[in-house]
Structure 1
Amino acid sequence: MKRRRLLRWGLLMLALFMVVFAGASWVVGGRLVAPALRTVGPPPADLPVESISIESKSGARLAGWYIPADNATATVVLLHPIRGDRRAMLTRARLLHDAGYAALLVDLQAHGESPGEHITIGHLERHDAEAAVAYLRRRTPDHQVGVVGRSLGGAAAVLASPLEIDALVLESVYPTIDEAVHDRLAMRLGPLHHVLAPALLVQLSPRLGISTADLRPIDRINAAGCPVLVAAGDQDRHTTLAETERLFAQASEPKTLVIFSGAGHVDLLAHDPVLYKDQIVRFLDANLQPPP
């Protein structure tokens, strides 16, 4: 009798734990995909910025800044990381403007001033990358077009491939959502990531209507249809160097791999401006030349 009572209590405690765990996982998952909406404010005074809006198939009207450059023959789309907004790409816009490029910065759906119900880790945001490129093709049809995407922005560009662009720069981009979630949880929880990551990944379908198979940039990078540069930090724990090298291996030629020594999952331009200018700007210079 005592043994049965203990067994019942044990099963009751296990059931209670599972309910609490499921509830906590659902709350955490909701926070991870919650919109990162905010007022961006006025454009920077040191650049000739035009505020624009672009309709996207993601369902959002994207808020953005277009920055022309005198005598430019190419424009670069700058796509920000997760939970950021177009301001996160302003240092790149300044660098590229000084190098003679026009630039287009947009808030991805559910970020900044672009509406959206959920961040979808690249699934809906891929339509925003498409919309930005299409806008430029209409506005400056004679320009070459490049895309520079950081983290989420890069994943969105890859998942939208082929974008019919002339050069693609990917900074700190995850190869698969499974690895991205496991990596981030392992940083904080150690071996417990083996338990919590599946509980978060299974929420993709009920929350966003997608599966892990929809969030695999490694399966799309070979469809880019243009020269690709993959950049990452060798100390990045969000997307490890081994994962970056696997992503790069799947890209079609011509391709370039640039590793930033000592950098984690950070702004690579801020980490090493000299290397960034030498490698990334030089890559764009080489591949965004006007047609003869």
Structure 2
Amino acid sequence: MNIRRCAAIALAACIGAAGVLWGAGEWLSQPAARPIGAAPADFAAQAVRIPIPASAGQFLAGWFKPGQPHGGAVLLLHGVRADRTQMLARARFLAAAGYTTLLIDLPAHGESSGDHITFGAREGEGVKAALAFLRTELPSERVAVIGASLGAASTVLALPQPEPDALVLESMFSTIDDAVGNRLVGRLGPAGRYLAPLLLWQLPLRLGVHTTDLRPVERLAQWHAPVLIASGSEDRHTPWHETEHLFAAAQAPKALWKVEGAAHVDLHAFAPTQYQQRVLAFLAVHLRGAPPGP
């Protein structure tokens, strides 16, 4: 085989690979829209539509269920390509404990508006709008956020003012570079790490977002709210050492929960009893003024 033919084959392979990666980037950023409908009959929540002031004409769809007066309120935020139903089991036990709950579809998910998933950059405007809704509806209540994966990153990146009174951050990536690299390694092996930049360079072209905009570990250091950080010991999307890095960046008061045996999964579904005990104890201290446990 002559040099010219080898070069042509190599060029064709590169073009083909670039096309595959471009297609992958398009799929990853496409909206995850789907109909949700009314809340289940056993969770008597009202449907809400919350405008996003920072984005004209854009809105959030969600469910709002008032709790007991002065009991505290919790905003629940799902992971990427999911919707508010992912957080329904959490909302049920919180509502049973008297908390007001607000479950939303993040922008470009479920029934909310949005033309692209931006991995926390624009989703953060939805978080701000949802928190503003809770502050308006319940001006005397203390407010917490429970965010899983994308929901956690969107909250931290948004840095809303005023801050919520407490944060529960589950399975949150430290940087988008790590998140993409870890996922490609999981699918393709060590070579995946070298392909990550070929996906990441698309962000400014496709979404107007830069990798420097998607570094929760840096933004977390600017927060002052009490935080509970949780992740699975077997999570390959966010390895434990990255979660420890996040915890080190957070300001006190803070708590860390290593969920033994859990991968990048729904932590409440994986360990429901432990989850409920830890989260309810954390919220009781920071939303209701209960004394800290031992």
Which residue does the alignment assign to 2:158? 160
Which residue does the alignment assign to 1:21? 17
> Structure 1 stretch 159-168 or stretch 225-234: which is displaced more?
159-168
Unaligned runs of 5+ in 2: none
1:181 and 1:58 map into 2 onto residues whose CA distance is 27
Which residue does the alignment assign to 2:104? 106
Which residue does the alignment assign to 1:146? 144
2:73 and 2:95 map into 1 onto residues whose CA distance is 10
Cα deviation digits, residues 169-198 of structure 1 (max 9, x gap)? 000000000000011111110022123211
Q: Give matches, 1:1-292, under 5 Å.
A: 6-56=2-52, 57-58=54-55, 60-163=58-161, 164-289=163-288
2:104 and 2:233 map into 1 onto residues whose CA distance is 28
Unaligned runs of 5+ in 1: none
Contact 2:123-2:154 within 8 A present in 1 as well? yes
2:287 and 2:280 map into 1 onto residues whose CA distance is 10
Instruction: Give 1:131 shift.
Output: 0.6
Contact 1:230-1:256 within 8 A present in 2 as well? yes
1:245 and 1:284 map into 2 onto residues whose CA distance is 22
Instruction: Give 1:72 shift.
Output: 4.4
1:237 and 1:107 map into 2 onto residues whose CA distance is 25
Could you tell me which amino acid in structure 2 is paired with residue 96 of structure 1?
L
Instruction: Give 1:41 shift.
Output: 2.0
Instruction: Give 1:283 shift.
Output: 0.5
Match of 1:122, SS? coil
Match of 2:230, SS? strand
Cα deviation digits, residues 209-247 of structure 1 (max 9, x gap)? 111100000011122221011000000011000111101
TM-score relative to the length of structure 2: 0.95
2:113 and 2:137 map into 1 onto residues whose CA distance is 24
Could you tell me which amino acid in structure 1 is paired with residue 48 of structure 2?
I
1:37 and 1:160 map into 2 onto residues whose CA distance is 22
2:243 and 2:267 map into 1 onto residues whose CA distance is 14
Match of 1:43, SS? coil
Q: 1:50 to 1:277 in 2, by over 3 A?
A: same
- What is the Cα-based RMSD across aligned positions, in Å? 1.4
Match of 2:188, SS? helix
2:122 and 2:22 map into 1 onto residues whose CA distance is 21
Task: Please list every run of at least 4 consecutive aligned residues from structure 1 whose deviation after the TM superposition is greater than 2 angstroms.
Answer: 57-60, 70-73
Contact 1:180-1:239 within 8 A present in 2 as well? yes
Contact 2:224-2:252 within 8 A present in 1 as well? no
Contact 1:159-1:215 within 8 A present in 2 as well? yes
Instruction: Give 1:18 shift.
Output: 1.3
Number of equivalent positions: 287
Contact 1:237-1:264 within 8 A present in 2 as well? yes
1:114 and 1:162 map into 2 onto residues whose CA distance is 20
Instruction: Give 1:65 shift.
Output: 0.6
Match of 2:191, SS? helix
2:12 and 2:179 map into 1 onto residues whose CA distance is 29
1:286 and 1:273 map into 2 onto residues whose CA distance is 20
1:162 and 1:24 map into 2 onto residues whose CA distance is 37
TM-score relative to the length of structure 1: 0.95
> Structure 1 stretch 245-254 or stretch 69-78: which is displaced more?
69-78
> Structure 1 stretch 257-266 or stretch 187-196: which is displaced more?
187-196
Could you tell me which amino acid in structure 1 is paired with residue 91 of structure 2?
A
Could you tell me which amino acid in structure 2 is paired with residue 165 of structure 1?
P
2:70 and 2:233 map into 1 onto residues whose CA distance is 34
